[in-house]
Amino acid sequence: MAVSNSVDFELDVAEYIEEAFERCGLEVRTGYDLKSAKRSLNLMLAEWANRGLNQWTISQRTLALVEGTGVYALGADVIDILSMVVQRDGTDFSLSRLSRDDYLSIPNKTTESRPNQFFLDRQVTPSLKVWPVPENSTDVIYYNALTRMDDADTFINTVDMPFRFYPCLAAGLAYYIAVKRAPQRVQLLKAMYEEEFERAMTEDRDRASFNVVPKYDYYRVG
């Protein structure tokens, strides 16, 4: 049996839009159709970020601490921080996360020691606030950042995601377009989108070994 030995199937933005229009029973006829669909695609990618469907955008980053400095600017692409450690002399120490109210209630924000807590201030340009503030300039923070997906900025670009999410993207874009252009298909396409989204979410979760350990207190030795 002949096989292709090819694993490079990939759609560009224009092809996703064409596929979505076809599912709506429509054709792309004007430049405005393309512009409107691209806008919907970018809004949908923002929705995915809010729903947590972007595990592939997690990146580990480093931050050099500065003695006496407790606030650090982060990249505008940072959506959230999943975990954080501070490394001192080759040993990692975890930092726990603070809410805005918890950070605000710290009475002395200039106390210097090894940081053990952090607050992510999620503004347009996010910033990281650590407490206590660093007591030296040799400690380094390592953190796992959930970052923003690339925009669909041109029609010839491909979309920043693994191939297993292609069906979800096509289904979602079709639903978004149907809301504006094919209301009679909204319910059908929404159901298809949610099914594909749930499948993608299940696939996107971290996996770990699963072991069943019996509770020995249920057994008696005679």
CA atoms of 134 and 102, how far apart (whole Å): 19
* H or E element that contains 88: strand 78-88
Report the distance separating Cα 171 and Cα 195, nearest Å: 9
Q: Is the pTM of this model over 0.75?
A: no
Are 53 and 201 spatial neighbours (Cβ–Cβ below 8 Å)?
yes
For residue 133, give the nearest of 71, 64, 61 by alpha carbon: 71
- φ, ψ of residue 119 in degrees (nearest 5): -130, 125
> For 42-90, what is each residue's pLDDT tens digit?
999 989 888 877 777 888 999 999 999 999 999 999 999 999 999 999 9
**Could you report the per-residue pLDDT of 163-190, keeping only the tens digit for each?**
888 999 999 999 999 999 999 999 999 9
